[in-house]
């Protein structure tokens, strides 16, 4: 189990565990018995299967089809994203998209939660373990903290719309690769267009760097109003700390509270 943990495997993809070694032995035994029975019918002695031959026996479980991520994959992602005319269509298109190999290790696709008509869209970078298990964004410890942060300024999940840039959990919560980000970018951009929020809250420096196309870190980005460009208008956007960051560094909560007060004031003025 320690080997799996170091490899980043910390979640099962099936509800029940499968002993693949026992399964392999059983399938091998079944094949050998079949050969023995056949040889007996022909009046022949049981053939001996040498070790190299046994090693070539494969399970009947089909291997998942992996994609070769490249610029063409990014182009296909953008074409499919632009074809979505509604949030339901976008969800269906993303569920059927196999160009990002992260879906192979994820248990569920994490699309969104909350009220898409709220006018407030909250976006993080990628789902974690609990989010992958439930198929919803921000439901683990960080999600519970986020709920308390929202409640502090009079908001809840019925008054906001939550999503992530990456809809599938990277194995072991590793950082998404630049190519994985570019493949998923068209979907979150289309997601924002279809939801058409009046305000965007970015959680964490990674999400801000991607959507605002900047190299600035979270310390310089947080609490500052920016503009997210749309085809016909620009959306007021603010960045604050990701709840995961606040759980790891509680002293930054005072800065996050300052950001929340700016959001509250903005909503009051609008």
The number of folded domains in the chain is: 2
Residues 56 and 82 both lie in one domain: no
What is the domain-level CATH number for residue 77? 3.40.470.10
Q: Are residues 82 and 196 in the same domain?
A: yes
Residue 67 to residues 49, 72, 125, 165, 181, Cα–Cα distance (Å): 36, 11, 22, 20, 15
Q: Are 33 and 98 part of one and the same domain?
A: no
Range of the domain at 57: 25-61
pLDDT, residue 70, reads 81
- Strands 161-164 and 120-124, by their bridges, are parallel
Residue pLDDT tens, the chain, 270 long: 555 555 556 666 566 676 766 766 676 666 566 545 654 555 554 445 455 544 454 555 555 667 777 889 999 999 999 999 999 999 999 999 999 999 999 999 999 999 999 999 999 999 999 999 999 999 999 999 999 999 999 999 999 999 999 999 999 999 999 999 999 999 999 999 999 999 999 999 999 999 999 999 999 999 999 999 988 889 999 999 999 999 999 999 999 999 999 999 999 998
Residue 30: what pLDDT? 64
Q: Are residues 44 and 157 in the same domain?
A: no
Same domain, 55 and 86: no
Q: How far is CA 270 from CA 101, 123, 199, 236, in A?
A: 42, 21, 10, 11
Residues 115 and 222 in one domain: yes
């Amino acid at each position: 189990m320690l080997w799996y943990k170091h490899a980043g495997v910390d979640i099962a993809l099936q509800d029940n565990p499968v002993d693949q070694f026992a399964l392999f032995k059983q399938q091998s035994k079944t094949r050998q018995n079949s050969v023995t029975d056949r040889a007996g019918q022909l009046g022949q002695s049981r053939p001996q299967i040498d070790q190299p031959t046994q090693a070539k026996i494969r399970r009947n479980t089909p291997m998942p089809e992996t994609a070769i991520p490249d610029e063409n994959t990014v182009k296909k992602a953008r074409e499919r994203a632009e074809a979505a005319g509604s949030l339901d269509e976008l969800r269906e298109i993303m569920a059927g998209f196999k160009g990002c190999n992260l879906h192979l290790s994820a248990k569920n696709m994490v699309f969104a939660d909350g009220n898409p008509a709220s006018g407030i869209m909250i976006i993080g970078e990628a789902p974690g373990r609990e989010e992958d298990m439930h198929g919803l964004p921000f439901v683990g410890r960080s999600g519970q903290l986020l709920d308390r942060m929202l409640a502090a300024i009079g908001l809840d999940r019925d008054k906001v719309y939550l999503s992530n840039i990456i809809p599938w959990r990277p194995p072991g919560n590793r950082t998404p690769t630049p190519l994985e980000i570019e493949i998923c970018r068209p979907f979150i951009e289309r997601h924002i267009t279809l939801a058409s929020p009046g305000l965007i809250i970015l959680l964490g420096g990674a999400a801000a760097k991607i959507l605002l196309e900047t190299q600035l870190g979270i310390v310089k980005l947080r609490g500052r109003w920016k503009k997210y460009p749309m085809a016909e208008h620009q959306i007021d956007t603010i960045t604050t700390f990701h709840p995961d960051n606040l759980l790891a560094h509680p002293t930054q909560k005072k800065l996050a509270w300052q950001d929340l007060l700016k959001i509250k004031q903005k909503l009051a003025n609008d």
